[in-house]
Structure 1
Amino acid sequence: MTMSKVEQRLAALGVTLPAPAAPIANYTPFVRAGSLVIISGQLCLGPEGKIAPQHVGRVGAGVSAADAASAARLCAINVLAQLRACIGDLDRTLRCLRLGGFINAAPDFDALAGVMNGASDFMVEALGDAGRHARSTVGVASLPLSAVVEVEGMFEVR
């Protein structure tokens, strides 16, 4: 079986998409409506399905901005894993329309955009120009499993 162009790009980046994470509450990991796919918020789970200690807690209060950006990248990897579970071949992705980022941040930490760039930069690396997207980034008081970042996405697909 031939590897898709997106999977080839991921391999060149040293990224293997994990098995998609199962929901931890009453929701579905993705919903498809026509050519749109909405991916539920994905946590910064590593390849083994766990959150690394450096990705637990609040950025600006024990978690560095660099570690939080790395967590955002993991979230984006998990978003793509869910997208692949929905559409099969990632080459069917026409565009990443939107990413939403939730950053578990100390009240005085305002460098949220740089943290979310971990997810945004990865999406462009993985999808090329089709990875350029609109986005929102919000600082929050807490996230599930004490994760430092959660990222959701919306995609246009064939």
Structure 2
Amino acid sequence: MSVESRLAEIGITLPEAAAPVASYQPVVIANGLAHVSGQLPFIDGQLVTGRLGEDVTLEQGTAAARACGLMIAAQLKAAGVLERVERVVKLGAFVNSTGDFTDQPKVANGASDLMFEIFGEAGRHARSAVGVPVLPLGAAVEVDAVIALRAD
């Protein structure tokens, strides 16, 4: 089954791929891997901002991480490689959080669970989930990815 068919089956519509906010490429393909730059969480066209442990709940943070995952898929589609995904190798989740917030892994599950929903077993991946004091544009979460691609 194609990835596009799978997305339709589970009722997911990908957002438009966001333009870079600085001097970088959203996706770089090298040696069979797609390196996806950190993606910010947009829900209904609005950037999710704030800090976990302060003014963003765990549920909102998890939804934000899921939105980052959707943007990762959107960037893969824009790069023309969504249908070539062989395996999600690694996600890196950065959570804008207070010093005493320790549920970064639960927040990151929003993106991780989405990868499994979309890609099945090929969506299971290695991951890091870290707390940071600030993210670009005040975003609550940022997620980047390394994706293995099938040959053309």
What TM-score do you get using the length of structure 2 for normalisation?
Answer: 0.94
Residue of structure 2 equivalent to 1:102: 94
Which residue does the alignment assign to 2:109? 117
Match for residue 77 of structure 1 among 70, 73, 80: 70
Q: CA deviation at 1:13?
A: 2.6
**Aligned equivalents of 1:80, 1:122: Cα separation in 2:** 10
Matched, 1:8 2:5: yes
The alignment status of 1:39 with 2:48, answered yes or no, reads no
Aligned-pair distance for 1:152?
0.2
Tell me which stretches of 4 or more aligned residues in structure 1 moved more than 4 Å.
Answer: none
Q: Return the letter of the residue paired with 1:144.
A: P
* Percent identical residues: 47
C-alpha separation in 1, matches of 2:137 and 2:33: 29
**For 2:23 and 2:69, how far apart are their aligned partners in 1?**
21
Structure 2 Cα separation of the partners of residues 86 and 33 of structure 1: 13
Structure 2 match to 1:59: 52
- Which is worse superposed, 5-14 or 132-141? 5-14
In the alignment, structure 1 segments of 5+ residues that lack a partner are none
Structure 1 residue matching 2:4: 3-state secondary structure = helix
Residue 21 (structure 2) aligns with: 24
Which residue, out of 133, 152, 156, partners 2:148? 156
Q: Which runs of 5+ in 2 are unaligned?
A: none
Q: How many residues align?
A: 150
Q: What does residue 85 of structure 2 align with?
A: 93
8 Å contact 1:18–1:47 — kept in the other structure?
Answer: no
Deviation of 1:5 after TM superposition, in Å, equals 2.2
Pairwise CA distance, 1:47? 4.6
SS of the counterpart of 2:63?
Answer: helix
- 3-state secondary structure, aligned to 1:59: coil
What TM-score, normalized to structure 1? 0.90
User: C-alpha offsets along residues 86-142 of structure 1, whole Å, 9 cap, x if unaligned?
Assistant: 234x23110000000000001100011100000000000000000000001110000
- Deviations along 1:66-85, whole A, 9 cap, x unmatched? 00000000000000111112
Aligned-residue RMSD, C-alpha:
1.2
